[in-house]
Amino acid sequence: MTSLTPSPADKFTFGLWTVGHRGRDPFGEPTRAALDLPAALQHLKALGAYGVNLHDNDLVPIDASAADRDRVVRAFRDALAASGLVVPMATANLFSDPVFRDGAFTSHDPAVRAYALQKTMRAMELGVELGAGIYVFWGGREGAEVDAAKDPVEAIRRVREAINFLCDHAIAQRYPLKFALEAKPNEPRGDLYFPTTASYLAFISSLDHPEMVGVNPEIAHEHMAGFNAYHAVAQAIEAGKLFHIDLNDQKFTRFDQDLRFGSESIKSLFFVVKLLEDYAYDGPKHFDAHAYRSEDADGVWDFARGCMRTYLLLKEKVHRFREDKEIQSILAELTRDDRSSSSMSYSRDAAVMLKHREFDRRELATRRLPYERLDQLVVDLLLGAR
Amino acid sequence: MTSLTPSPADKFTFGLWTVGHRGRDPFGEPTRAALDLPAALQHLKALGAYGVNLHDNDLVPIDASAADRDRVVRAFRDALAASGLVVPMATANLFSDPVFRDGAFTSHDPAVRAYALQKTMRAMELGVELGAGIYVFWGGREGAEVDAAKDPVEAIRRVREAINFLCDHAIAQRYPLKFALEAKPNEPRGDLYFPTTASYLAFISSLDHPEMVGVNPEIAHEHMAGFNAYHAVAQAIEAGKLFHIDLNDQKFTRFDQDLRFGSESIKSLFFVVKLLEDYAYDGPKHFDAHAYRSEDADGVWDFARGCMRTYLLLKEKVHRFREDKEIQSILAELTRDDRSSSSMSYSRDAAVMLKHREFDRRELATRRLPYERLDQLVVDLLLGAR
Amino acid sequence: MTSLTPSPADKFTFGLWTVGHRGRDPFGEPTRAALDLPAALQHLKALGAYGVNLHDNDLVPIDASAADRDRVVRAFRDALAASGLVVPMATANLFSDPVFRDGAFTSHDPAVRAYALQKTMRAMELGVELGAGIYVFWGGREGAEVDAAKDPVEAIRRVREAINFLCDHAIAQRYPLKFALEAKPNEPRGDLYFPTTASYLAFISSLDHPEMVGVNPEIAHEHMAGFNAYHAVAQAIEAGKLFHIDLNDQKFTRFDQDLRFGSESIKSLFFVVKLLEDYAYDGPKHFDAHAYRSEDADGVWDFARGCMRTYLLLKEKVHRFREDKEIQSILAELTRDDRSSSSMSYSRDAAVMLKHREFDRRELATRRLPYERLDQLVVDLLLGAR
Amino acid sequence: MTSLTPSPADKFTFGLWTVGHRGRDPFGEPTRAALDLPAALQHLKALGAYGVNLHDNDLVPIDASAADRDRVVRAFRDALAASGLVVPMATANLFSDPVFRDGAFTSHDPAVRAYALQKTMRAMELGVELGAGIYVFWGGREGAEVDAAKDPVEAIRRVREAINFLCDHAIAQRYPLKFALEAKPNEPRGDLYFPTTASYLAFISSLDHPEMVGVNPEIAHEHMAGFNAYHAVAQAIEAGKLFHIDLNDQKFTRFDQDLRFGSESIKSLFFVVKLLEDYAYDGPKHFDAHAYRSEDADGVWDFARGCMRTYLLLKEKVHRFREDKEIQSILAELTRDDRSSSSMSYSRDAAVMLKHREFDRRELATRRLPYERLDQLVVDLLLGAR
């Protein structure tokens, strides 16, 4: 039986920009006041959260002097210490300021690219100072509406140059950081150059230090492409590259909704939770979402509570799935032969034998695959009917 | 000035299953007779095509005896020689027969997986016999509707095992084949395990022989995910992995339409053609599409002509783009600084200098980016208005 | 407490083409044998179904002689009577045969349009003979890939002409039939002329006999457009036009999946069931879906059982929703003022008063809207956690 | 030969919010300064525009006193007169202010609904004062993320109550206004209650004064649903309800991009232009789009020029389409029989005759439908190759 009370052991985290989201959207003005940060940390701790994550400018204004920066950071560290929360992940905002209006690392202007590198170096430093072990890159402006203006091959090279530089820098500085790359198909740009988690998995192997770089899949971003997020996260796990994860929700193929985890896609997210539990993912579970614009300050905590509660409810369903005799019996039947079979390692002899092996194709096509039954058992289980 | 008459130098190819498509769809029966193969080859040759591609069972019935197989292949080679066409690419049909109803390489049944391997080995042999240098894998059934039934991590491992086996086999047999993996997001399965070209690019680096494996992006499959196909192909090129390409068209985020190349997405496909020409892609340009179901036998050749013609029309636009003074002047202005700037290679000194460099963020944000003008020039150019 | 055992009072129906679906798809051959019809009727009855629906050619081959037709119908009526099932709905297949390859009622060829009318008249006669009270129109081929070929304004007029003719015919024949129009955005055509339920609602008011024509929304078809099916069905109910409903499931914006009801979209379909129950919809609940292609004959019955069970499970959740004190207390708070307020009927005095009324906009914006909490309560309720 | 120089006779209009868009988006701050309104009007006039449209608060701040309001309006009228532009359309902003965070006409709070009515009455008055003949309703917040919170049947009724009230008010005030309802599938709400133009067409017939209410289709909003905008506008025209149109562009099934007209969907928009020209639509052609965020002030005028130019380029293609002998010959062949055939009006005799008419289904299926050729001719024509 899973406890439904969140605890630090669950490693639930929230971005300052998530609980601090003020309800502004493309068609509307803010509906909520700015967050009282120390109070918010206390609140999150009381709810059972483990930590908070941040962009540099969630904390330090982009125009802050060095002295102001240090003062703000000191105050935040005090508030953090008082709350008992940690900061496992940090990142830089390379998308809000007009300087990045046509990209940060992919800008045509080498001075903008250099500024983006500098801003990232400082955000890494801030992250390390706050104890973060993971540094996330989300290239919100690294894309295009006008494909005539930029060669996407060149854009990829520019991102590589930047990440290689920053890996070297982190190594030289002995920063205890791993990098996690976060993809998104579009918005705010017409198309982003790395539209899915897989785009970054492909890119990583071409880096100078691939071992220190992984991915940060975001459920909602995969849903924006109409993709099975469970499969996307599975590919990251299989590649040993799931360094961080952004848990939220979203209807398929529409604007970035950043909904409360599990509020939309109950069945799909059950499988995501199952995957994280089955493969013992032990990084932070970061809820990168925000309360509805219609919510007031209290509603933000309802939102935060809901994210964690639904995760734990689904985790409890994972336990039941494992212990459900009928489900397990079907799975055992499905994979019966598989366990006993030898692997298909290549050898010349194996190839010769295989080439002449006789198969009864029609007989093989008769094997029972009771997927309707199995799927209905999962629906029953999710609905609390078993 | 580009010639608008297709010639073998253009390397335009058609699948036997494309010009041979009989107009069957999920809601309707065939509307066209089966292809007269020798006549079709003559026809394609006369239209200016370079070659044809095939699945094993486009030519050899799945139940053919060895003798029948040899007879069919011999007749086909004769017809091919008579036509002057080549077969640059071959593949296996691992999706139509009920034996593959829950996957070929990812089936739970080791006997099905072994049968899929054997069928592929034979299709490779057939391809080599016909002179193919590229072997394409499209795993049409490697996916799921019922995620409870199969662990996608395990599914990826099974595909790797198969591809590794087949690489070893090709090497051992000294087959002059490169492998090209073709992704698709869904259909006929609810979700396919490798939904995009990037998914396969990520996978390739984990193979035993990554150097012999690349990708076969299909425009329509990227469009099914609502993706910018130009960007997807660019990532393949940047990775040195564009081994083959399937050119067709499709509205975003709907069923697999396989429309005539350029019939839907004029501007997007201009950029795809530009990319292939700019990076001197010299593999086959394969039109993996088919005539509308309402077309008769003649209409199939209208379809084939249209694919090639639109490619050449867009290629001519690429030349004009390169020679358009205003377009080139804007591009030169955009990338002016870039060419003069030194690269951003990491060194401790460079990092220290960068960390302390002063940037005037507001000034950097004022640089003119005349993308509306540039994009309109492209629209004008496409519409023949410049 | 809702019974989870289906009974005829639930009015659950299945199309002969649904339980009879043989697993053919665009990339694969049939995996299941043709249905033994009398046995299937018995089976459905035993499972608790109320009736079956059919296209003319599900029962009578398109080339049947009059004598053959009568014999087949007689045998079916006998089997029906033996089973105790009814046939509440009938329709015509105007999409499979090549004659309809460019539309039935919207064909350019007046002879094709006339043939489609004739085929429909006969299907109506068949439906009446079998006791059907609802006649559904799904214009599977009424659309286009090539917009140059047909003016969509003209296409709409042709459909109106056909429906008007058939209304007059039904009235003249004193057929006890209501017509229900079924929309779909695309597939098998690139675009269908009436893409959503709303398209038909708009069309109906322009008919000669609007009172006898309503709609047959299909959940999966609305999902294909990425639409909230609950809202679409609600508009039909509000217009008094929900004459029939097709219950199934589907991921957003992809090919027509026709999945088991509730297998994908648990939360959305909860609201659909709630709507049907809240507004006491008493027509047939038709499961227009089919078993996975990997299923064998037994799996078809698992599929049918699952559709009905999930409906009943969700109906039980509707009861709990109504009786959940916290949910109802939030809803009461939200609509508190609404019930007490007078309506906004127009009068000159009301307009003058309203024009000069003072509003405290900021105060109005502070009203609490605890939607995160409410939505989480629904998730809890669905997951069996309250 | 179409002139490519825009003139008032083309009735091209721009919203103040379009040329005045400051480049703010969900992830970024404004990149452009606020518009100098008198200069902008002069600029638009010089470019060939016919008029400008506005939301109440594009001109008058929401908190303006009556005196301030009058002063602002007077200054605007002076600037307008000086420029020679007109204001054919007005509307109210019922979406930006927090008071509308859960809807305006569909809010649960009767005071919010009353305030929305009052704000609309004043915006109508403003529109009339400025000479507008069309009043547009876009209910940006009339939707939901939390379906538990509001019954969509009730939401539709509330919108009807509001529109009925406002029709009565306009009639009583003898305002020379027609109403045009503008749909959108989602964003900023998860789902909007009237997702497409067809949803509003269906709704209009239920109003007290349907004759004064039509629709304002927006191309991009139909594209957000992945719909064929040409078909959607055609249904509006067929219903006699095309009172206004918003011309822009957008990739399918993603966030609201509001791109320059024709910048994305060249072929689709050719058909839209053809429809407007074929049916002699003579209302304003309103470009509801904005310049890319990366554009500076000059770029805004490039954007405006581009919208009008592409319309005129496509209009010129329409003329060529009409005069293209091969295209017209195919169309004549396709519709040959149609023109000669008598209509299918119902009579008992006609029905009896039709019921017994013999059709040769196979022969009817052989009629040539050279759509590949026709479509390629359109592509050639668009590319300037004929």
Contact check, Cβ <8 Å, B266/D379 = yes
DSSP letters, A18-57, are HHT----BTTB---SPPP-HHHHHHHHHHHT--EEEEEHH
C306 chain-A contacts, CB cut-off 8 A: 372-373, 375-376, 379
DSSP state of B103: B
Contact check, Cβ <8 Å, D305/B376 = yes
At residue C277, the pLDDT reads: 98
> How much is the mean pLDDT over chain A?
96
CA distance C276 to chain D (A): 12
Q: Cα(B38)–Cα(B76) distance, rounded to whole angstroms?
A: 8
ipTM for the complex? 0.97
Contact check, Cβ <8 Å, C96/B28 = yes
Contact check, Cβ <8 Å, A260/C376 = yes
At residue D341, the pLDDT reads: 52
For residue A354, pLDDT over 60 is answered with yes
Q: Which of A10, A56, A58, A246 is catalytic?
A: A58
Which residues are CB-contacts of B209 (< 8 A; sequence separation ≥ 6)?
B164, B167, B168, B171
CA B200 to chain centre: 12
Task: Place A338 in a pLDDT band, splitting at 50, 70 and 90.
Answer: low
Q: In the sheet where A51-55 sits, what is the strand order? A: A213-215, A178-182, A134-138, A89-91, A51-55, A12-15, A285-287, A245-246
Per-block mean pLDDT, blocks of 10 residues, chain C (386 long): 90 98 97 96 98 98 97 98 98 98 97 97 98 98 98 97 98 98 98 98 98 98 98 98 98 97 98 98 98 97 98 98 98 80 81 95 96 98 97
Structural element, H or E, at residue A143: strand A143-144
Task: Place A344 in a pLDDT band, splitting at 50, 70 and 90.
Answer: confident
> How much is the mean pLDDT over chain B?
96
Number of Cβ within 10 Å of residue C92's Cβ equals: 25
**Which residues of C are the active-site residues?**
55, 58
Calculate mean pLDDT across residues B292-308. Answer: 98
pLDDT digits (tens, 9 = 90+) for A214-264: 999 999 999 999 999 999 999 999 999 999 999 999 999 999 999 999 999
- In three-state secondary structure terms, A66 is helix
Residue in chain C lying closest to B96 (CA): C28
Contact check, Cβ <8 Å, A375/C291 = no
Q: Cα(D282)–Cα(D243) distance, rounded to whole angstroms?
A: 9
Beta-carbon contacts below 8 Å between C and D: 272
Q: Cα(D374)–Cα(C292) distance, rounded to whole angstroms?
A: 39
Contact check, Cβ <8 Å, D254/A254 = yes
Task: Place B336 in a pLDDT band, splitting at 50, 70 and 90.
Answer: confident
Reading the block at residue B68, the tokens are: 């029948």
Q: Which residues of A touch C (CB under 8 A)?
A: 4, 31, 226, 251-254, 260, 262-264, 266-267, 291-292, 294-296, 298-299, 302-303, 305-306, 309-310, 313-314, 317, 365-366, 368-373, 375-376, 379-380, 382-385
C266 chain-A contacts, CB cut-off 8 A: 266-267, 379, 382-383
Q: Cα(D175)–Cα(C229) distance, rounded to whole angstroms?
A: 38
At residue D340, the pLDDT reads: 47
pLDDT digits (tens, 9 = 90+) for D260-279: 999 999 999 999 999 999 99
Q: Cα(C175)–Cα(C69) distance, rounded to whole angstroms?
A: 20
Rg, chain B, Cα only: 23
A156 chain-B contacts, CB cut-off 8 A: 234-235, 238
CA distance D301 to chain C (A): 32
For residue A339, pLDDT over 60 is answered with no
In chain D, which stretches have pLDDT less than 50?
Answer: 340
Which residues are CB-contacts of B104 (< 8 A; sequence separation ≥ 6)?
B94, B95, B112, B113, B116, B119, B139, B141, B142
CA distance D259 to chain C (A): 21
At residue C260, the pLDDT reads: 98
Q: Which of D21, D43, D55, D290 is catalytic?
A: D55
D267 chain-B contacts, CB cut-off 8 A: 263-264, 266
Which residues are CB-contacts of B120 (< 8 A; sequence separation ≥ 6)?
B92, B94, B137, B162, B166
Which residue in D185, D190, D292 is closest to A145 by CB distance?
A: D292
CA distance from start to end of chain C: 15
A185 chain-D contacts, CB cut-off 8 A: 254
Q: Cα(B225)–Cα(A225) distance, rounded to whole angstroms?
A: 6
pLDDT digits (tens, 9 = 90+) for D114-143: 999 999 999 999 999 999 999 999 999 999
Q: What is the pTM of this model?
A: 0.98
Strand-pairing partners, residue C213, are C179
In this structure, are residues C270 and C263 in contact, taking their beta carbons and an 8 Å threshold? no
At residue A166, the pLDDT reads: 98
At residue D2, the pLDDT reads: 72
Contact check, Cβ <8 Å, B254/C251 = no
* Neighbors of chain D with 3 or more C-beta pairs under 8 Å: A, B, C
The residue whose two tokens read 């970024």 is D28
Residue in chain A lying closest to B210 (CA): A205
User: Would residue D317 be called left, alpha or beta, if left means φ above 0 and alpha means ψ between -120 and 50 degrees?
Assistant: alpha
| Strand pairing report for A12-15 and A51-55 | parallel
At residue D337, the pLDDT reads: 78
Which residue in D149, D231, D367 is closest to C109 by CB distance?
A: D367
Q: Which residues of B touch C (CB under 8 A)?
A: 23-31, 95-98, 100-102, 140-141, 145-146, 185-188, 190, 224, 226, 251, 253-257, 259, 292-294
Q: Cα(D229)–Cα(D233) distance, rounded to whole angstroms?
A: 6
CA distance A292 to chain B (A): 27
In this structure, are residues D191 and C270 in contact, taking their beta carbons and an 8 Å threshold? no
For residue B362, pLDDT over 50 is answered with yes
pLDDT digits (tens, 9 = 90+) for A28-54: 999 999 999 999 999 999 999 999 999
Percent of chain A with pLDDT over 90: 96
Contact check, Cβ <8 Å, C374/D108 = no
Mutate which: B21, B93, B101, vs C, most C CBs within 10 A: B101
For residue A323, pLDDT over 50 is answered with yes
H helix intervals, chain A: 16-19, 37-47, 56-59, 66-83, 110-129, 152-172, 197-204, 219-224, 229-238, 266-278, 297-323, 325-340, 348-356, 361-364, 371-382
pLDDT digits (tens, 9 = 90+) for A121-144: 999 999 999 999 999 999 999 999
